[in-house]
Amino acid sequence: MKFFIDTADVDAIRELHDLGMVDGVTTNPSLILKSGRNILEVTKEICSFVKGPVSAEVVALKAEDMIAEGRKLAAIAPNIAVKVPLTWDGLKTCKVLSGEGFMVNVTLCFSANQALIAAKAGATFISPFIGRLDDINLDGLDLIGDIRTIYDNYDFKTQILAASIRTANHVKDCALIGADVVTAPPAVIKALASHVLTDKGLDQFTADWAKTGQKIL
């Protein structure tokens, strides 16, 4: 499974990148706002050291404007994935930009039918939002499973990019179901290494080692 980091915080991306944990990055208008930086500048900086896909989102609502914005974003670097919403105009934009050879990430997916039509429009990635479905008492993981089945049935090449990841268990479950990618905040990626029994065992080893009075260095 590929790990994309869902943030525009360059320092946080670099930390995980140095550990080999970054296969790509996703951003959106909310994350750009949180970074306090210009979208073109911060995206260019991220692309300078992340070689995998870096999603940059259009903000227009009409296809003609989305296409123009997408082309401008794609010009930042060869590894830009233009992020478009799963609307009819977004699908039109996906068809045009993917036809021009650009990667397209179709986002805000909440149903298997939406994922099916995005694949037909040539999406490189489909981004189903797990956490937001959970928020309204629907099972976001069921959606990942449905999309996986549909895509496998018809050999669609669109990659399932599980988004709105809230917990380490979300990551595990997406891996079990067969999502191609998860995009998660840095804190969630770091949480994958945590376990209470690991901490307990380390505390015991440290206490026992102190009693030996020995040193390695």
Residue 12 in tokens: 């946080």
Instruction: Supply the pLDDT for residue 185.
Output: 97
Contacts of 104 (CB under 8 A, 6+ apart): 70, 81, 82, 83, 84, 93, 94, 97, 98, 122, 123, 124, 125
Strand-strand pairing, 24-26 and 103-109: unpaired
What residue segments make up the domains of the chain, in order of their start?
A: 2-212
Whether CATH 3.20.20.70 fits 2-212? yes
List, by residue number, the catalytic residues: 83
Distance, CA of 131 to CA of 72 (rounded, Å): 30
Instruction: Supply the pLDDT for residue 129.
Output: 98
Give this prediction's pTM: 0.96
Residuewise pLDDT in 10s, the chain (217 residues): 999 999 999 999 999 999 999 999 999 999 999 999 999 999 999 999 999 999 999 999 999 999 999 999 999 999 999 999 999 999 999 999 999 999 999 999 999 999 999 999 999 999 999 999 999 999 999 999 999 999 999 999 999 999 999 999 999 999 999 999 999 999 999 999 999 999 999 999 999 999 999 999 9
Three-state secondary structure string covering 64-103: HHHHHHHHHHHCCCCCEEEEEECCHHHHHHHHHHHHCCCE
With contact defined as beta carbons under 8 Å apart, do 168 and 189 qualify?
no
From the CB of residue 173, how many other CB atoms can be counted at a distance below 10 Å? 19
Instruction: Supply the pLDDT for residue 52.
Output: 98
